[in-house]
């Protein structure tokens, strides 16, 4: 670009970027550092104020800074300091994770996943050498069978349940992973089916259906209120049970059973998220050249063959990044479960509830229990996990491409 260069350009860039960067520094980066610091303290409702004589507190805790010091209320309980030992909050979260029993369970779970992992690596190897057309379906089938046999042989459900007993962190993360594993494929399938139907250009009423089917995604802008409406369907005196009563059946209290509560949260979140897949897949479908299908038809390929060998492979580049993004979003789901179950139903005294996912757990620790130190420690670990997932998704979506150009 013509115009200024040298010092004037540097000044100009600084002028343009500085306000935004200052905002990011104060409200995004500093909170992350402060959060890491708080995770090593016993900051909670019994120790609401900092001990400003501690030099780390006087540096990290903004309320201890000279200009804000006058606002600090005095004499409310004992002030918070560093935990003894320092990693106390983390060890409370992990519980008995690092005992031989829990680690044994973890090893069993890992063992069951080995066949799938191997075939996944093999698959990536094949992708780089498209010449070798081995029958991949058989390999995947074999891997699934092997994993399943291992799971049955090692009594995997017992290992998982046992592991989830070992501490809050593992229980919450496993539950969230189950949620993601149920919700993402379901919304993908629903989105795929609807996109395939809507892709027919000659279908009368297509535009209307598209708009109506997009509604749930639009409703996710006020997710928590929408989820409250859904919750009403499943209340003890809710719509579903009213309908059942008309048929003479006394409906169960849906939200009091761990399994049905979990299933309902999955259902409602599928409702919120399938339009995302539908839109992505529709976009991808429209970029597939029609000639491919015509050629396939000449060759006598059935509709099913066309789907497996033309449609799905060709929408993959668009769908894969979308799946990773939506998995990360699902991992952070908050509104749906909070409005419907509040994280419940209870699974035991002092244990996270049956639908207490990652964000719900963090929110409860902060909002209801005021257990800030532990919430911060939890946040640090989840930060780490999300950071890795995001790096992976950035590589996959190549969204940073623009940054290098």
> Residue 68 CB, nearest distance to another protein (Å)?
4
Nearest to 227 by CA among 337, 356, 361: 337
Interface positions, 61-100, toward another protein (CB under 8 A)? 61-63, 65, 68, 71
215: contact with another protein by CB under 8 A: yes
Return the residues of window 309-348 that contact another protein according to CB under 8 A: 311, 318, 321-322, 325, 328-329, 332, 334-335, 338-339
Q: Are 318 and 284 in contact (CB under 8 A)?
A: yes
Burial of 374 (0-12, 13-18, 19+ CB in 10 A): buried
Q: Is 184 in the site for another protein (CB under 8 A)?
A: no
- Chain positions 270 to 299 lying near another protein, rule: CB under 8 A, are 271, 275-276, 279-280, 283-284, 287, 293, 297
**Given the rule CB under 8 A, which of 76-84, 97-105, 148-156, 369-377 is the region that contacts another protein?**
369-377
Considering the rule CB under 8 A, would residue 4 count as an interface residue with another protein? Answer: yes
Least Å distance, CB 100 to another protein, is 31
Kindly state the smallest distance separating residue 13's Cβ from another protein, in Å: 5
CA distance 138 to 251: 44
CB 282, min distance to another protein, A: 8
What the block records as the tokens of 392 is 């992976």
Task: Supply 116's token pair.
Answer: 């799938």
Q: Which stretch binds another protein (CB under 8 A): 76-84, 159-167, 223-231, 255-263?
A: 223-231
Burial class (CB in 10 A: 0-12, 13-18, 19+), 158: exposed
* 11 forms part of the interface with another protein (CB under 8 A): no
Q: Which is nearer to another protein, 53 or 297 (CB)?
A: 297
Residue with tokens 């060759």: 299
Find the shortest distance in angstroms from Cβ 99 to another protein: 28
Q: Are 373 and 83 in contact (CB under 8 A)?
A: yes
384 lines the binding site for another protein (CB under 8 A)? no
Name which of residues 241 to 260 contact another protein (CB under 8 A): 242-243, 246
Distances (CA, A) of 337 to 78, 206, 345, 347: 36, 32, 11, 16
**Contacts of another protein in 120-149 (CB under 8 A):** none
Which long-range CB contacts under 8 A does 359-362 form with residues at least 24 apart?
359/332, 359/333, 359/334, 360/334, 361/168, 361/172
Size of interface with another protein, in residues (CB under 8 A): 117
Gap between the Cα atoms of 57 and 87, Å rounded: 17
Could you give the 3-state DSSP secondary structure of residue 80? Answer: strand
* Binding map of another protein across residues 18-57, x = CB under 8 A, - = no contact: -xxx-xx-xxxxxxx-xx--x----x--------------
């Amino acid at each position: 670009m013509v115009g200024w260069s040298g010092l004037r350009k540097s000044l100009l860039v600084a002028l343009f970027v500085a306000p935004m960067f200052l905002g990011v520094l104060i409200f995004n980066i500093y909170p992350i550092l402060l959060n890491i610091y708080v995770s090593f303290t016993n900051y909670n409702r019994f120790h609401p104020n900092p001990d400003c004589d501690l030099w780390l507190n006087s540096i990290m805790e903004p309320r201890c800074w000279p200009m804000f010091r006058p606002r600090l209320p005095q004499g409310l309980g004992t002030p918070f300091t560093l935990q003894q030992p320092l990693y106390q909050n983390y060890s409370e979260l992990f519980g008995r994770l690092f005992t031989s029993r829990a680690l044994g369970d973890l090893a069993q779970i890992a063992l069951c996943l080995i066949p799938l992992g191997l075939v996944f690596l093999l698959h990536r190897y094949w992708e780089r050498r498209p010449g070798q057309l081995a029958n991949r379906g058989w390999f995947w089938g074999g891997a699934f069978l092997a994993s399943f046999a291992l799971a049955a042989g090692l009594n995997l459900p017992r290992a998982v349940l046992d592991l989830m007993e070992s501490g809050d962190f593992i229980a919450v993360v496993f539950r969230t992973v189950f949620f993601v594993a149920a919700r993402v494929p379901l919304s993908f399938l629903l989105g795929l089916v609807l996109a395939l139907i809507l892709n027919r250009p000659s279908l009368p009423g297509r535009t209307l259906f598209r708009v109506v089917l997009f509604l749930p995604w639009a409703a996710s802008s006020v997710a928590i209120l929408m989820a409250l409406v859904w919750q009403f369907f499943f209340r003890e005196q809710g719509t579903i049970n009213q309908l059942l009563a008309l048929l003479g059946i006394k409906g169960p209290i849906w939200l009091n059973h761990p399994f049905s509560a979990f299933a309902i949260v999955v259902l409602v979140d599928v409702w919120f998220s399938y339009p995302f897949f539908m839109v992505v897949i529709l976009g991808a479908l429209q970029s597939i050249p029609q000639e491919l299908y015509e050629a396939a038809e000449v060759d006598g390929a059935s509709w099913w063959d066309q789907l497996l060998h033309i449609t799905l492979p060709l929408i993959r580049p668009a769908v894969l990044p979308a799946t990773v993004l939506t998995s990360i979003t699902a991992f952070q789901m908050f509104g749906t479960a909070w409005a419907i179950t509040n994280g419940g139903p209870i699974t035991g005294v002092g244990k996270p509830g049956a639908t207490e996912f990652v964000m719900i757990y963090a929110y409860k620790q902060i909002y209801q229990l005021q257990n800030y130190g532990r919430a911060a420690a939890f946040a640090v670990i989840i930060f780490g996990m999300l950071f890795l997932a995001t790096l992976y998704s950035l590589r996959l979506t190549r969204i940073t491409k623009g940054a290098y150009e």
